Chain A
Amino acid sequence: MILTDDSRTRRRRAEAQEAADPRPFSRRVFLVTGAHAAGALVLGVTLGARTASPHALAQGQAQEPSASPGAATPGAGADAGFLPNAWLRVDPDGAVTIRLHKAEMGQGVMTSLPILVAEELEADWDRVRVEYAYGDPVYGSPLNGGLHLTFGSTSVRESWQPLRLAGATGRAMLVAAAAQIWGVDAEGCRAANGEVHHDPTGRLLAYGDLALLAAALPVPSPERVRLKEPRDFRLIGTAVPRLDIPAKVDGSARFAIDIRLPGMLTATVLRCPVFGGRVRSFDAAPALAIPGVRHVVEIPAALPGVDGGLAVVADGYWPAKLGRDALVVDWDEGPYAAQSSATIRAEMRALLDQPGDVWRAEGDAPGALAAATGVVEATYESPFLAHVTMEPMTCAAHVRPDAVDVWVGHQSATVVQELVAAPLTGLPPEAITIHQTYLGCGLGRRGEADFVADAVLVSQAVGAPVKVIWSREEDVQHDVYRPFTQQRVRAALDDAGDLLGWSHHTVGDSQVAVRYPFLLASGPAGNPIDDNSVQGLDGDFPYPLSNLRVETTMAASGIPVGWWRGVGHSQNTFVVEGVVDELAAAAGQDPLAFRRRLLRDVPRALGVLDLAAERAGWGEPLPPERGRGIALCRYSGTWVAEVAEVTVAADGTTTVDRLVCAVDCGIVVNPDAVEAQAIGGVIHGLSGTLYGEITIANGRVEQGNVDDYPLPRFDEIPPIEIHVVPSREAPGGMGEPTVPPVAPAVVNAVFAATGRRLRKLPVRPADLVATP
């Protein structure tokens, strides 16, 4: 999710920050603003007791995202030692604590972000410990409107400058402290690996010994702090082992589902299978008769877009589950009970035939296309897709009259505090304490409010700590899905073979209109627009052309939709790269050569296209029934091109034989993590191409578990090659960018193998059965 710069959000953030910190100048929070285009650079120099309450290591919680490569040394208190800013602390014993403000969901931020600080700080990495931090505006995401969240492959990208600056500032002050002690020039001192050296006299002082003096020095302004040259990096660019991995190989890594608290009860929830439905009446007696079941609680529909339901509260998950199965419920199925995939398709097709809200109108696409010959017009469809995070939705909460504790692996502290726990309890956000755990997959699902609201409301109702665990069926059937879309594109080439015009209309439900209306953007005409729906058609549309029109229409199918890994790029790249392939075919051009020509002035696009094509052996002959397809995208500053090689058998069975992926993600912070994320993104892309889809009948999801919503299995993964273009650009994202090109690369390969153009996912054998 990349939010447009919402002025209301930014103003709200700034006001909150001012109100929170009315201190004398030298100890006040201040913002350091850099270039506007990428959003504010925020250093957030916060000192003293009014800093964010970082989630400190509490006893017995050693496996929550607070980890150290060496021995865990408890800090001497949140504000002891040297805290030049909101990102690091050096204790007198030399331990360095780096604050992590992003959710660790397997993408490796718990290591890669602290690396940025430690590199410039010249910390001894073996003495670094990491703790999760939230509750201060400095931890907000500039690329996401200032909200505190982990989304959109933006963590490394937006932290690259500010976290290095934070570390470098700390280093400069430690060096200044040493220089002061020695009575020498700071320029003659050198920081390395947790120590300051004065080479001319052979003296050295450890950071721990300098901490208290450094803490008393003025913080230098950013323009006076020097960052390293890339050639001097010791950690950045190397495969530093991830801090969280050891705990993930022995069962000790703690996820929200693992939380155990004194007096805790466990609950599982039941919602109306029809979206928008509600409890008309229920009989709790059969559930309460189950040994171990303590309460049955009705959960109100307390948040917009989140249905109410029932919770069975018990001594453990199993009796709660039995109680849920035993409940007798009369549901009022609500307004969407007649909805089906067919009715949704028809509604969206009808909307597709109407004008949409204009998002982009450059040049005159309609006019150019009206005058063009050889217009390609195509209607595409993308299905609802489920997340199926390996850990179903889980959250624990303990609500008291004056405070709330929440234990959760969540992608957004803002959602947990400000959108759920505070409004539901009437307490201020500062009264909400978040104990962040690891996430058993995030994938965009774990940024939502519903499962957190369940825990808060049930705890409030029963007056005890409650851990809510959704069943997998509840998780699949009450997901927020990747949107079902209908898209129509009209495009044509000019006489020279360049893109003349592209007119694109996408119809789908909005991810934000109901649940987060403040995230709606405004189109040029002032209409509210969900800009997630046009990702990849916005500034990330890769192909230069003069006549481009993008329209989007919000449908209202009643099915809740949200952020799936890849977000709008994932379904829109399928369409864009399919249409580009159709244009190439209509012009009798090779799909690679066609793209190279259109992108001749975009070096980074050419870089990934050429690398992928070369490594894939593009152009080498293939046996019959086999074909190659290519696709590319730009996402969060990263360019990706992928070549898929497929076999389509006579019965339509499609096998991906090989997938070659070229990535240009700018400067690589951790090459091992880049490869892992690239492969993971490809496999996730395959899941949306050849595997399960969510279908609707009678207003309800027809699938319920991994048996009827299949996902890629161990023995179904093609050989996947990742090739990285060396780059000196600032880092781009890597969590999602390899997801979107998978579907079009496969579909384009199917076309190459069979001549059949698929405009609908997932790829189904029935659509590819050979005709005699």
Chain B
Amino acid sequence: MLTLTINGEERRVDVAGDTPLLWVLRDALGLTGTKFGCGIGQCAACYVHLDGTAVPACILPASQAEGRRITTIEGLSPDRSHPLQQAWIAEQVPQCGYCQSGQLMAAAALLATTPRLTDAEIDAGMRQNLCRCGTYPRIRRAIHRAAGA
């Protein structure tokens, strides 16, 4: 039995400790906003925050998330009010949308540590996030917008 603190709530789940956090979130807890893209930590569709740092949930054993503060896309805001979510809508960023939870979580962690970013810093900071639809240019604009640049 694991006890996980997710989006400010304590949840108890009966899963093996080596189950990737991704599948605990999606299957055990019904938090399906975090997505499965590659399973090897290389596409960032599964990004969540662990104590504010963006990590790939598909390769993180759930037991390692115990005692940490887990934030998923569902916890970014209750009502799409996070500045990045507002910027994403204003810039009409998503196309198919499947990668966007991970993109937002990566961007949120990036902005939390570096409130003003250059294009090069955004590119480097978002490099692990794969988008097959080609929304990268708009993501960059939206990050600038949210940062108030």
Question: Residues 125-149 of chain B: 1 if any A CB is under 8 Å from the residue's CB, otherwise 0?
Answer: 0110111111111111000000000
A390 to B124, CA, bound (A): 21
Name the contact of B97 in the complex, choosing from A253, A681, A712, A713 (C-beta under 8 A): A253
- Interface stretch (choices A198-206, A243-251, A340-348): A243-251
Name the distance in Å between A32's Cβ and chain B's nearest Cβ.
33
The reply to whether the CB of B35 lies closer than 8 angstroms to some CB of chain A is yes
Q: Chain B residues with Cβ under 8 A from A80's Cβ?
A: none
A96-135: CB near B (< 8 Å → 1, else 0) gives 0000000001111000000000000000000000000000
**Is B27 a contact partner of A106 (Cβ separation < 8 A)?**
no
Partner of A683, one of B72, B97, B136: B136
- In chain B between 93 and 110, which residues have their CB closer than 8 angstroms to a CB of chain A? 93-101, 104
A374 interface hit (Cβ, 8 Å): no
Q: Is the interface of B mostly helix, strand, loop or mixed?
A: loop
Q: A251 and B96 in contact (CB under 8 A), knowing A679-B134, A680-B134? A: no
A471 partner residues in chain B, CB cutoff 8 A: 39
Interface residues on A, range: 35 or more
In the bound complex, how far is the Cα of B92 from the Cα of A239, in angstroms? 10
Q: Is the CB of A318 within 8 A of B23?
A: yes
CA distance A63 to B37 in the complex (A): 20
Q: Are the CB atoms of A679 and B123 closer together than 8 Å?
A: no
A257 within 8 Å of B (CB atoms):
yes
Contacts of A652 in B (CB 8 A): none
Judge whether A472 and B38 touch: CB under 8 Å.
Answer: yes
Taking the closest CB of chain B, its distance from the CB of A50, in whole angstroms, is: 34
Contact indicator B92/A241 (Cβ below 8 Å): yes
In the complex, chain B residues 5-51 whose Cβ is within 8 Å of any chain A Cβ: 16, 19-20, 23, 26-28, 30-40, 42-43, 45
Report the nearest A residue to B126, measured CB to CB.
A714
Question: A672 on the interface (CB 8 Å rule)?
Answer: yes
Evaluate contact between A106 and B96: CB separation under 8 angstroms. Answer: yes
Q: A317-B27, A390-B130 are in contact. Are A715 and B123 (CB under 8 A)?
A: yes
Q: For the complex, what is the distance from the CA of A249 to the CA of B74, rounded to whole Å?
A: 10
For A438, list chain B residues within 8 Å (CB).
96-98
Residues from 443 to 481 in A contacting B, C-beta threshold 8 Å: 443, 469, 471-473
**Cα distance A318–B22 when bound, in Å?**
9
User: A680-B134, A717-B136 known; A390 and B96 CB under 8 Å?
Assistant: yes
Give the one of A107, A248, A442, A705 with max B CB within 10 A: A248
Contact of A711 with B36 in the complex, beta carbons under 8 Å: no
Contact A251 B74, beta carbon cutoff 8 Å? yes
Contact of A245 among B20, B38, B92, B104 (CB under 8 A): B92
A226 within 8 Å of B by Cβ?
A: no
Q: Is A441 an interface residue (CB 8 A)?
A: yes
Contacts of A245 in B (CB 8 A): 88-89, 92-94, 97
Q: Any chain B CB within 8 A of the CB of A545? A: no
Known: A317-B23, A317-B26. A258 touches B74 (CB 8 A): no
B80 near A715 with CB under 8 A, answer no
> Are A241 and B96 CB-contacts (below 8 A) given A251-B74, A711-B132?
no
With A317-B23, A683-B136: A249-B35 Cβ-Cβ less than 8 Å: no
B108 CB, min distance to chain A CBs, angstroms: 12
Interfacial chain B residues near A440, Cβ < 8 Å: 35, 96-98
B114 contacts the other chain (CB 8 A): no
CA distance A358 to B33 in the complex (A): 51
Q: How far is the CA of A684 from the CA of B32 in the complex (A)?
A: 27
Q: Is A391 an interface residue (CB 8 A)?
A: yes
In the complex, which residue of chain B has the Cβ closest to the Cβ of A719? B137
**Cβ contact of B27, chosen from A244, A316, A442, A705, cutoff 8 A:** A316
Residues of A within 8 A of B138 (CB): 676, 679
The 8 A CB mask of A364-408 against B (1 = contact, 0 = none) is 000000000000000000000000111110000000000000000
A720: interface (CB < 8 Å): yes
Chain B residues with CB under 8 A of A705: 38-40, 42
With both chains docked as a complex, state the minimum distance between the C-beta of B13 and any C-beta of chain A, in angstroms. 11
Q: Which of B31, B37, B98: most chain A Cβ within 10 A? A: B98
Residues of B contacting A248 with CB < 8 Å? 94, 97, 100
Say yes or no: is B73 at the interface (Cβ < 8 Å to chain A).
yes
- Least CB distance, B75 to chain A, in whole angstroms: 9
Say if the beta carbon of B76 comes within 8 Å of chain A. yes
- Interface flag for B64 (CB, 8 Å): no
Contact residues of A between 174 and 231, Cβ < 8 Å to B: none
Q: In this complex, what residue of B is CB-closest to A442?
A: B96
Q: How far is the CA of A248 from the CA of B39 in the complex (A)?
A: 21
Q: What is the bound-complex CA distance between A680 and B45, given in angstroms?
A: 18
List the A residue with the shortest CB-CB distance to B81.
A250
Q: A720 vs B141: C-alpha distance in the bound complex, in angstroms?
A: 13
- B88 near A249: Cβ-Cβ < 8 Å: yes
| Residues B124 and A715 in contact, CB atoms below 8 Å apart | yes
In the complex, chain A residues whose CB is within 8 Å of the CB of B36: 257, 317, 391-392, 469
> Is A574 in the interface zone, CB < 8 Å from B?
no
The listed residue with most A CB atoms (<10 A of its CB), out of B38, B120, B138, B140, is: B38
**Structural contact, A472 and B37, CB atoms closer than 8 A:** yes
Q: A248-B94, A250-B76, A318-B27 are in contact. Are A714 and B129 (CB under 8 A)?
A: yes
Cα distance A316–B40 in the bound complex, in angstroms: 18
Residues of A within 8 A of B135 (CB): 676, 680
Q: Quick one: which of A244, A390, A684 has the most chain B CB within 10 A?
A: A390
Judge whether B92 and A717 touch: CB under 8 Å.
Answer: no
Q: Is there an interface contact between A250 and B73, defined as CB atoms closer than 8 Å?
A: yes
The answer to whether A106 touches B38 (Cβ under 8 A) is no
Contacting pair A318 B136 (CB below 8 A): no
Q: How far is the CB of B90 from chain A (nearest CB, A)?
A: 9
A707, CB-defined interface residue at 8 Å: yes
B92-A106 in contact (CB<8A):
no
Cα–Cα distance between A711 and B132 once the two chains are bound (Å): 8
Q: Is A756 an interface residue (CB 8 A)?
A: no
Over the window 686-709 of chain A, the binary record of Cβ atoms lying under 8 Å from chain B Cβ atoms (1 yes, 0 no) is 000000000000000000011100
Q: Which residues of B contact A392 (CB under 8 A)?
A: 36-37
Q: Residue on B with the closest CB to A685?
A: B134
Which listed residue, B23, B39, B137, touches A717 by the CB 8 Å rule?
Answer: B137
Measured between beta carbons, the chain B residues less than 8 angstroms from A533 are none
Query: In the complex, are the beta carbons of A672 and B92 less than 8 A apart?
Result: yes
Contact of A391 among B19, B35, B131 (CB under 8 A): B35
Assuming the A-B contacts A680-B135, A715-B124, A720-B137, are A250 and B94 also in contact, with contact meaning beta carbons closer than 8 angstroms in the complex? no
CA–CA, A325 to B133, complex, Å?
31
Would A251 and B92 be within 8 Å (CB), given that A291-B16, A317-B26, A388-B132 are in contact? no
Chain B: minimal CB distance from A451 (Å): 15
- Closest-CB distance, A303 to chain B (whole angstroms): 26
Q: Give Cα A242 to B90, complex, Å.
A: 10
Q: In angstroms, how far is the closest chain A Cβ from the Cβ of B139? A: 8
Given A252-B33, A390-B130, verify A316-B28 contact (CB < 8 Å): yes
- Residues of chain A from 713 to 743 with CB closer than 8 A to chain B in the complex: 713-715, 717, 720
Inside 8 A of A388's CB, which chain B residues have their CB? 132
How far, in Å, is A270 (CB) from chain B's closest CB?
15
Q: Which residue of A lies closest to B28 (CB)?
A: A316
* The residue from B27, B89, B95 contacting A249, defined by CB atoms under 8 A apart: B89
**B77 located at the interface, meaning its Cβ lies under 8 Å from any Cβ of chain A in the complex:** yes
Whether A391 contacts B37 in the complex (CB less than 8 A), given A106-B94, A253-B97, comes out as yes
CB–CB A106/B97 < 8 A: yes
Question: What's the least CB distance linking A19 to chain B, in Å?
Answer: 37
- Does A234 belong to the interface (CB within 8 Å)? no
Please give, as numbers and ranges, the residues of chain B lying within 8 Å of A720 by CB-CB distance.
137
Once bound together, how far apart are the Cα atoms of A672 and B95, in whole Å? Answer: 11
Q: A258-B26, A390-B130, A707-B42 are in contact. List 12 more A-B contacts (CB 8 A).
A: A241-B92, A249-B88, A258-B32, A390-B35, A390-B37, A390-B43, A440-B96, A681-B134, A706-B130, A712-B134, A715-B120, A717-B136
Would you list the 6 A-B pairs with minimal beta carbon distance, nearest first? A251-B33, A106-B95, A248-B97, A440-B98, A683-B134, A106-B96
A-B contact pairs, 9 of them (CB 8 A): A245-B94, A249-B93, A251-B74, A251-B101, A318-B20, A391-B35, A683-B134, A713-B130, A715-B120
